[in-house]
Structure 1
């Protein structure tokens, strides 16, 4: 299996690179620069593509050219930026700068659409093409969050996923949307999960759990797919 992970240099993306794949698989990570000290699972061929998704058209072209020859089975789009004061009690939409709002839309929506458009011809050649979009509980109705641009961009992922499923159902394209709650990205995948799950006292999700969910989704046959999955922290009172 050949899997492309967008936003793979740190946090959840780094955990996905370190936790996905089996011996003989190929993982391609994408970020502005290749991070140091990144280890894939034994037998997994790890490659890197340097591209800045803040420049959607150029990044999409670079990534397309990097995968077009060897093919691609799965795209994991794990990228999202948010407002400077997001998830802070001091957040006020009226204080958001216009250029920051444009950057959020550019990175979280425009880049997603342009890249998928570029990669679809490659993906659809796979016997089991899959797209996994890492969304947020902020993109759910009545999420309880006030961040306008970030929330709107995560709502947009549902529309992207729904349209792709309808447009390419006959080509058996499986599109999964993961609505993730607050993550513990301080503890890497190398940290024992029993220790990582203690951080946040029930308010944070270890990256280990997200990796496990993605591995499950990618392990399914071509006859089924995970449409949408919401993964909140156990202590999140919104859920």
Structure 2
């Protein structure tokens, strides 16, 4: 199986590179720069492509040129947020025009262009699966005020719905992971029990997301998970 993880240098993306592949698989990580000492926990071959999503056209072209002939699973894990997002100091009216345009460029424009370039590679696979990393901020009445970030994550839902309809006859599976607050401090090398205890049930360990994705990849060709909602246990919004 060929798996490509876009946005893979740290946090959840790195955990996905290290945790979803097994012996015989090839996992292609994508980020601005290749991080040090990334390797699969389960014997998959790890390769890397350097691409900067803040330059959407150049990044999409670079990925199209470097992509394997067929991609079985494309995991898109890119997203930036406002400088003061998720803090009491956040104020939409104080966000600069440039910062909003940059956020839209990375979170929406780059996503669309990369999907356009890479879908032909995905559709060459008998598996043909796309997994988009969304956010609970993309849910109605999410309880979050971040306007630009929330809008960009809502856009992922629209992309997923449209891709399913446009490529249903070609068997494309499209899933969205609606993730709550994540504990990205603890890597997979940290025991999951320790990572789960860090924030006393208020953040989701990356281990749990990796477990969910492994389950998604283990399903038969007859089914798929359309949407997964994964909030923290004590997230008061849920």
**Displacement after TM superposition at 1:221 (Å):** 1.5
1:113-159: CA deviations, max 9, x gaps?
A: 11011111111010010000000000000000000000000000000
Matched, 1:25 2:25: yes
Q: Is the 8 A contact 1:161 1:175 kept in 2?
A: yes
Match in the other structure for 1:52: 52
Match in the other structure for 2:210: 211
Task: Give structure 2 stretches of 5+ with no counterpart.
Answer: none
Match in the other structure for 1:184: 183
Matched, 1:34 2:12: no
**Displacement after TM superposition at 1:90 (Å):** 1.1
Q: Is the 8 A contact 2:133 2:179 kept in 1?
A: yes
Tell me how far apart the structure 2 counterparts of residues 80 and 136 of structure 1 sit (CA, whole Å): 10
Match in the other structure for 1:15: 15
Tell me how far apart the structure 2 counterparts of residues 105 and 215 of structure 1 sit (CA, whole Å): 30
Aligned residues: 238
SS across alignment from 1:58: helix
| Runs (4+) off by over 2 Å | none
**Displacement after TM superposition at 1:41 (Å):** 2.6
Tell me how far apart the structure 2 counterparts of residues 165 and 33 of structure 1 sit (CA, whole Å): 32
Matched, 1:87 2:74: no
Q: Is the 8 A contact 1:172 1:222 kept in 2?
A: no
Taking structure 1 as the reference length, the TM-score comes to 0.98
Tell me how far apart the structure 1 counterparts of residues 101 and 123 of structure 2 sit (CA, whole Å): 31
Tell me how far apart the structure 2 counterparts of residues 63 and 11 of structure 1 sit (CA, whole Å): 21
Residues 193 and 14 from structure 1, CA distance in 2 versus in 1: closer, same or farther, beyond 3 angstroms?
same
Q: Is the 8 A contact 2:19 2:42 kept in 1?
A: no
